[in-house]
Amino acid sequence: MELWCTEKQTENLSLSFRLKETLRREKTAYQDLAVVDTLPYGRMLLLDGCVMTSEADEFVYHEMITHVPLFTHPCPRRALVIGGGDGGAIREILKHPSVEEAVLVEIDARVIEASKQFLPAISSALADPRCRVVVEDGIKHVKTARGRYDVIISDSTDPIGPAVGLFTEEFYRNVREALTEDGVFAAQTESPFLHARLIADVQRRIGAAFPITRLYLAAIPTYPSGLWSFTLGSKRHDPLQPRPCELETRYYTSALHRGAFQLPRFVEALAVAGEANGRPVGEAEAPRGGSGG
Ligand code: SAM
């Protein structure tokens, strides 16, 4: 008998993965958590039926959400990841020799525990002495951390449940205050094909908080539509002039850093105008959600 896991991405779109086995399935205090071993993409973490990370393509997302803001900053010493319980962003941040402290603020301790148990290649850096793990709501954390971080990364789930507040203008203003005077912020901001209106709204909200706001893209096969966006907000340094990369990476390069900001015209319309032009392509009726295997 074949076993399949299906992610329902919109009312009319799903993506299925053939499974070797289900490694964990539990209802945490915040979400439905599943870890499965898939034939095409290796082990995979899903939350509320949405793919969070997979062994096969996690390096793309984790390198692009971290190295773009970190190489934009002249000398990042203290970084904050909000969400990111799988540990992949922390692993990439700690590759930077200038980083003295990487703080992970994850609301759900069960995500951290499951990632440590089943995804060691992604979560191993959580044990690094420079990493400090805080189980807390990231919305609350940034309200109290004034001028503390050189780089802040929002590595959150989709804007549903506890993550809704991570996509608001108030949150972005608090992130700005939690950054040093030349701090840099980056967030995962969903798919231009399926979430155009959200991207346009987020551009406007981050643009209201930061003098420099830029959208960039990466190809991530296990995420809805395979094309994923990130939005960077910077208080002083322009991401188009990054420091050169001397790190061991699998996706990120200095040339790709600059290239990722070269946008297809339909995405530029979202970034430049700060609002969707006309009816966006395949606008999702609601954020993704669905059933695990
Ligand atoms: N790369 C994934 C993506 O793009 O969807 C995100 C991975 S990471 C596992 C997302 C994490 O955000 C989850 O573990 C979730 O518990 C956490 N999260 C959601 N809302 C949060 C909040 N308000 N504060 C802290 N963590 C939050």
Strand partners of residue 106: 135
Task: Say whether 25 sits in a helix, a strand or coil.
Answer: strand
CA of 162 to the centre of ligand 1 (A): 8
pLDDT on residue 287: 53
pLDDT on residue 277: 39
pLDDT on residue 1: 87
> What domains are defined for the chain?
3-54 (2.30.140.10), 58-273 (3.40.50.150)
The pTM (predicted TM-score) of the whole model is 0.93
Of 158, 172, 150, 169, nearest to 233 (Cα)? 172
In this structure, the residue with its CA closest to atom 18 of ligand 1 is 83
**CB atoms near residue 120 (< 10 Å):** 12
How large is the average pLDDT for residues 166-183? 98
CA of 266 to the centre of ligand 1 (A): 28
Encoding tokens for residue 287?
């954020």
Contact predicate 35/47, CB 8 Å:
no
Q: How confident is the model at residue 279 (pLDDT cuts 50, 70, 90)?
A: very low
Question: pLDDT tens digit string along 210-246?
Answer: 999 999 999 999 999 999 999 999 999 999 999 999 9
CA within 13 Å, CB half, 91:
23
- Which positions are catalytic? 155
In this structure, the residue with its CA closest to atom 2 of ligand 1 is 52
274 has a pLDDT exceeding 60: no
How large is the average pLDDT for residues 252-257? 98
How large is the average pLDDT for residues 116-145? 98
Question: pLDDT tens digit string along 62-106?
Answer: 999 999 999 999 999 999 999 999 999 999 999 999 999 999 999
If 0-12 CB within 10 Å is exposed, 13-18 middle and 19+ buried, where does residue 90 land? buried
212 vs 218: CA distance, rounded Å: 20
CA of 71 to the centre of ligand 1 (A): 23
